[in-house]
Amino acid sequence: MKKLLLLVFCLPLIVSAQNQDSLFIKQISDEIMRNGKAYEWLKQLTKNIGGRLAGSPQFAQAVVWGKKTLETTGADKVYLQECMMPHWIRGGKDVVNIVSVNGKKQLKQLDALALGNSIGTGKKGITTQVIAINNFNELELLKDKIKGKIVFFNYPFNPTYISPGKSYGEAGAYRRGGPSRAAKYGAVAVLTRSLTEATDNHPHTGSTSYNDSFPKIPAAALGLQDADYLYNLCKQSTNVQISFTTNGQFLPDTIGHNVIAEITGTEFPNQYITVGGHLDSWDVNEGAHDDGAGVVHTMEIVRTLKVLGYKPKHSIRFVLFANEENGLRGGNKYAEEAAKNKEEHIFALESDAGGFTPRGFSCTMSDAQLKKLQSWIPLLKPYGTDNITSGGGGADIGPLAKIFKTPLAGLTPDGQRYFDLHHARTDVFENVNKRELHLGAVNMAALIYLIDKYGL
């Protein structure tokens, strides 16, 4: 009887709180959908600055732009956090040609991009036979035939996975580790199939990672149409010769910056909620979805909370991270400084999956914390969030979890088109939809509000 009376007493309070939350989230949505600056800011970032590879002049310009633009949002603080960054440069045009088949001259240029962090071939390039391989198991079977050859890993996206991110993670092993795996057996260079299921022929770059136990060899990715052509040619022919020229190299590490804005908490100013995206991108595109979208999502949230006069309980930091693509120096520096200052980080949210229609959030946290977030789905569902799932977060906020065990979440937009553009020359402003982009900011801002109000 006492429990029943308690429920009867508390139910109106619960309903009232839910109504207040629903009304405020609607205010967030209305402000962003009517007056949002994210799309306009994205155009400035992509069209006025363009690709923003760590260490490049364009990245330095983006830092200046990010700080100046965040200062217009009314944030309590805006400042730069210095970090050292790797400085890899492409160094020139990447050229891969078929030059002969079975001893007969046959010139065909293949559309290729050197993998990020890869070494170049030198001016003379490399000309030798190419060996087409489907997977690492085949590499082991053919290891005695690899020496002095170019290995072509033709591992495709698995089309049966409904989540393209799963296909990307699986196929990504060949971009990240393929060059060193092939170098172990004497390969002199590597080609990979681009990590995409796109129907065009645009190659996709992205970082490779060398194993210091083996020689570092040049590596490049092919567009899918050329990848299919080369693979079929190799299977039909006994000797396909390739000429391969890339110019990638590392210059000395250089100074970069995280750009940080902050709204100070009214009750728990020393407890931090972090939300962010990464300011750097690859050099071959405008970095519109990866991760210009996450940058302007982050900026839009601080703008909207200030416009609405929201005074958070906890301090909220809005971070434009440096060097996610080929080093993660910005995310590591942010976490290191937080540890040095003995800060308490209660939650971190990242947007690094593009500016497409939001579907929910993927999280790395305890079961109890996940269930609490899932209880808010009815409040978020009108704006696109159908799922809050386990397993996710973001690369830049990952170091916070390692140091502080901070609960993490990542915005999960609809991913069916993301890898058509990811790390390719087609990741440009024109391929971002304004409404979809702004809806992402709505869902992120709403989640930040709920966590600030109710905690985890």
- Using alpha carbons, select from 79, 108, 102 the residue that is nearest to residue 243: 108
In Å, how far from its chain's centre is CA 44?
Answer: 20
Q: How confident is the model at residue 18 (pLDDT cuts 50, 70, 90)?
A: confident
Please state the domain extents for the chain: 25-88+252-454, 91-247
CATH superfamily placement of domain 25-88+252-454: Zn peptidases (3.40.630.10)
- Using alpha carbons, select from 289, 329, 302 the residue that is nearest to residue 45: 289
Q: How confident is the model at residue 13 (pLDDT cuts 50, 70, 90)?
A: low
The pLDDT value given to residue 17: 73
Average pLDDT over residues 275-299: 98
How far apart are alpha carbons 397 and 187 in whole angstroms?
Answer: 36
How far apart are alpha carbons 241 and 382 in whole angstroms?
Answer: 57
Per-residue pLDDT tens over the stretch 143-183: 999 999 999 999 999 999 999 999 999 999 999 999 999 99
Per-residue pLDDT tens over the stretch 62-110: 999 999 999 999 999 999 999 999 999 999 999 999 999 999 999 999 9
Q: Which helix (H) or strand (E) holds 261?
A: strand 249-263
* pTM assigned to the model: 0.95
Q: How confident is the model at residue 233 (pLDDT cuts 50, 70, 90)?
A: very high
Return all residues near 150 (Cβ < 8 A) that are at least 6 apart. 126, 128, 129, 130, 131, 187, 188, 189, 190, 191, 242, 244
Distances (CA, A) of 152 to 11, 59, 232, 265, 359: 64, 32, 12, 54, 36
How far apart are alpha carbons 90 and 121 in whole angstroms?
Answer: 12
How far apart are alpha carbons 190 and 173 in whole angstroms?
Answer: 13
- Using alpha carbons, select from 161, 244, 175, 232 the residue that is nearest to residue 204: 175
Whether the per-residue pLDDT at 296 is higher than 90: the answer is yes
Q: What does CATH list as the number for 91-247?
A: 3.50.30.30
Per-residue pLDDT tens over the stretch 377-389: 999 999 999 999 9
Q: How confident is the model at residue 433 (pLDDT cuts 50, 70, 90)?
A: very high
The pLDDT value given to residue 222: 98
